[in-house]
Structure 1
Amino acid sequence: MESKSEVAIGLKRSPGEALSSALSKLNEPIVPPKNTTRVVIKPSIYDPNLPGNTDVNMVRAVIRMFGSLGPVSIVESDTPLRNTGDAFLQCGYTDLENEQVELVNLSDVDMTSVMFSGHYFEDRKMPRILHEDAFFINVATLKAEPKICTIGAGIKNLFGLLPELDKSIYHTSIDSVLMDLLTAYRPNLTVIDLTDVVIGNRDDGQSKHVGGVVVGIDPVAVDAFCSNLLGIDPMKVEHLRAAHTLGMGEAIPDRITVRGTDHQIEELNQLFQK
């Protein structure tokens, strides 16, 4: 099947410049849903004491680009490692709060019953804010997660939409859970923050400055490209292969158009090989 999926890359001095550069290269228009009432941004904030969290300046750049669409809600949920309020504070997100921007703990908001596609969930309670005609931007980071789902990028970041404290109970079925979440909460835009990337095991606390970003409308294509950066065949990543097979996006690298100069693409690949 011929695919038109595309991703765009940006490599610049600041997250804002990188994001602006990458978005300008996309051919496919970014179209907000009709009657959009708010912008929902989901960063990746796992543990403020470790690398691999979405840089607050990348989220600031996203707000600058899309904040005119409506009030902005930056959402995250509690984990056994930390509560959301502390995570926002330690990672500098409280500096973003104003009359237009709110920080939302998905573990402490009104819930609504949601019917899922049945890969794992049939129906369950989910945060109501995710169902309020939102323009949903997934702003994730990239890291290897060999013990859970091979790689963590955009699709894995949807796992943090689940409001319960201990999400590890789903790890044994995480690929099915992610298919349900991707079906119900497919992002309008996926942004992978490569400002600083985790080197090796996240718990070792090592990271490398890259100063880049990957963006795209097809969340599967974005993650497949990022998987390739890590030297991992995306079709050997179970949740990417499943999403591809289900027609949710493109995971075969040769079918994904990469927007960026040859120099940028080569430089990004070299940064991940060093």
Structure 2
Amino acid sequence: MAVVSIVRYKPGGESLRRAIELCEGFAELKSHARVLIKPNVVIGDEKYRNFVKGVLTSVPVLEELIGLLREFGCQNITIGEGSITNEEMGLSTGTAFTLAGIGEMARRLGVNLIDFHQQGFVKIDLDGHQVEVAEAALEADFLINVPVLKTHVQTKVSLGLKNLKGTLSMTSRRIFHRYGVEKYIALLAGKLKPQLTVLDGLYTVNYGPVHYDYRELNLLVAGRDPLAADVVGSSILGIPPERVEHLVIYASLQGRRPSLEGIEVRGEKISQVAIRAEWETTWLQNIINSFGIKGIRAQTPGPSLCSGCMVTVNNVLRKFGREYSGATFDNIEICTGREPRPFKDSRLVFLFGNCSLESNPEVEGAIKVKGCPLSFAACYEALKKHAIPL
């Protein structure tokens, strides 16, 4: 029977120690092991300084984990991540580490810190597609997955299995979104098997993976079984695990069910700590509306929209919105990702990205911006040139 612990967090390390002890998290750990800690440091630079709590793995949790590992006798400890990169917007793993405070912590503690994008990738086959996975993640003796306990607008939750997507090259992440992100998250988790998962629930966030609507939970969830940890985490968020597609697929591949049956929960009871988190949102339209703009609409992209294009479109609309705050336009529509189809009454349609162009070849007179991933400058200049306010 899989064991998962839930512990209320208090600073100092004893909460994390108890969470790990309750689930026997170090049972397979050897003091000479090459330990890799994979946090969730999805994105970061100065533009994202207000999107830290509930979005990025907390420094205190990582620092306490390193202390416990060293107490165990481990010296070869590395923190590794592959954050969203975008040279045009100055986004890199380094900027994300800095924003999260992990760069400073690693220097202070003398811990190895690596950017997967700057290290080697190894190609592996996932259902007939060659994807690039960080060599460090494949070669670690003991992989500790430390995601945030949070929601996701495409996959409902972003927990342990989803966090492993951060070991991929940016090109391979686009493959995931093109051929079915939930399926490929499950397939990747079958190749990368963390020996320990610690869900950082000091804070959580609605409408993740990046949002400012956070709340304080002060929880830690730990388990040696990746599926069991995510099932408990999803249940705490109030999102039934059997409705989370990548959990369903991964469980099926393991000959299991994404259910609390067969999981022993130690520590706090789920019923005592569960909340109702929100994941579904019309996020693109919300950006437009937040600037009081009228006459522009944008359907919510589906799971085909990769993180690179998601970040680009998000930032383009925010810059455009600041410049045209309160303006009215003549029935303009913006489409991005494979799923949205323009409304027939839209006077002018913008198709952002190759996915949207491929899905809507019949739209006459559309402003087409090619890119995989999209260029911030190309999208912004297209809007400036063609989206003329009344």
TM-score range, shorter chain: 0.7 to 0.9
User: Is residue 90 of structure 2 the alignment partner of residue 90 of structure 1?
Assistant: no
One-letter code aligned to 1:223: D
2:16 is equivalent to residue 22 of structure 1: no
Output one character per residue of 1:242-268: Cα deviation in whole Å (capped at 9) or x when no partner.
111111766211321110145xx4431
Q: 1:58 to 1:29 in 2, by over 3 A?
A: closer
Change (3 A) 1:150 1:266: closer
Farther-moved stretch of structure 1 (84-93 vs 224-233):
224-233
In structure 2, the partner of 1:237 is 244
Taking structure 2 as the reference length, what is the TM-score of the superposition? 0.61
Is 1:217 aligned to 2:208, yes or no? no
User: Which of 133, 137, 144 pairs up with 1:137?
Assistant: 144
1:106 to 108, 116, 121: 116
TM-score of the pair, normalised by structure 1: 0.85
CA distance in 1, matches of 2:255, 2:161: 11
Find the residue that maps to 1:10 and give its secondary structure.
strand
Using a 3 Å threshold, how does the CA distance of structure 1 residues 29 and 47 change in structure 2: closer, same or farther? closer
Contact 1:235 1:252 in 2 (8 A): yes
Larger radius of gyration, structure 1 or 2? 2
* Structure 1 unmatched runs, 5+: none
Query: What's the secondary structure of 1:215's corresponding residue?
Result: strand
Higher relative contact order structure (alpha carbons within 8 Å, sequence separation ≥ 6): 1
RMSD: 2.6
2:205 matched residue in structure 1: 198
1:159/1:26 CA distance change after superposition, 3 Å: same
Compute the displacement of 1:212 (Å): 1.0
Could you say which residue in structure 2 is the equivalent of 1:66? Answer: 69
Q: 1:111 to 1:199 in 2, by over 3 A?
A: closer
Residues 54-109 of structure 1: per-residue CA shift (max 9 Å, x gap): 00111111111224323111111141462001111111112232475111010011
Distance 2:209 2:134 in 1: 29
The answer to whether the Cα contact below 8 Å between 1:35 and 1:133 also exists between their aligned partners in 2 is no
**Is 1:175 equivalent to 2:182 in the alignment?**
yes
**Is 2:82 the counterpart of 1:77?**
yes
Q: Once the 2 structures are TM-superposed, how far is the Cα of residue 19 of structure 1 from its aligned partner? A: 1.1
Does the 8 A contact of 1:196 with 1:211 survive in 2? yes
Which deviates more from structure 2 when the two are superposed, residues 201-210 or residues 150-159?
201-210
Query: Does the 8 Å CA contact 1:194/1:214 hold for their aligned counterparts?
Result: yes
Aligned length: 262
Long gaps (5+) in structure 2? 278-390
Paired residue for 1:41, among 16, 37, 40?
37
Contact kept? 2:151, 2:208, Cα under 8 Å? yes
User: Which of these residues, 7, 11, 21, is aligned with residue 8 of structure 2?
Assistant: 11
Q: Distance in 2 between matches of 1:120 and 1:149?
A: 23
- Pairing 1:230-269 to 2, within 5 Å after superposition: 230-247=237-254, 251-262=258-269, 265-269=270-274
Give the match's secondary structure for 1:14.
Answer: coil
2:157 paired with 1:155: no
Contact map agreement 2:25 2:196 (CA 8 A) in 1: no
| 1:29–1:78 distance in 2 versus 1, CA, 3 Å | closer
Q: Which amino acid aligns with 1:243?
A: Y
Q: Residue 119 of structure 1 contacts residue 176 of structure 1 at CA under 8 Å; is this kept in 2?
A: no
